Amino acid sequence: MMGVKISEKNLQEVIAETDEDGSGELEFEEFVELAAKFLIEEDEEALKEELREAFRIYDKGGDGYITTDTLREILRELDNRLTEEDLDGIIEEVDEDGSGTLDFDEFMEMMSG
């Protein structure tokens, strides 16, 4: 289903969950609802992979972290209208432990909102 391998049993479970009128078949509206769920999951996974690749580019040491100085540069590239106060506020918010570094999860949370 949409590039996802699924067993017959799991397929029947998905249909049962989506088959709102209990007909045993998916009407067009039910199918659209089901397809939208898969597309959202695929979009989220694609975004995560794009962010992971961006993180790797900025993680010059390959140690799984970027510094808050590097983050400051990234944010300036994304929006050159950010003031130093804006940047300080963003960094303070995402670097919760004050370590001066961000791991991928912190980076992803910040970039994906």
Cα separation, 103 vs 66, in Å, equals 7
Q: Which residues contact 94 (CB under 8 A, 6 or more apart)?
A: 71, 102, 106, 107, 109, 110
Average pLDDT over residues 83-102: 90
Over the stretch 60-77, which tens digit does the pLDDT of each residue have? 889 999 999 998 988 888
Give the CA distances from residue 19 to residues 35, 37, 61, in Å, rounded to whole numbers and listed in that order.
Answer: 13, 14, 51
Give this prediction's pTM: 0.56
Q: Of residues 87 and 28, which shows the higher confidence score?
A: 87
Q: What per-residue confidence (pLDDT) applies to 39? A: 64
- Answer whether 102's CB lies under 8 Å from 110's CB: yes
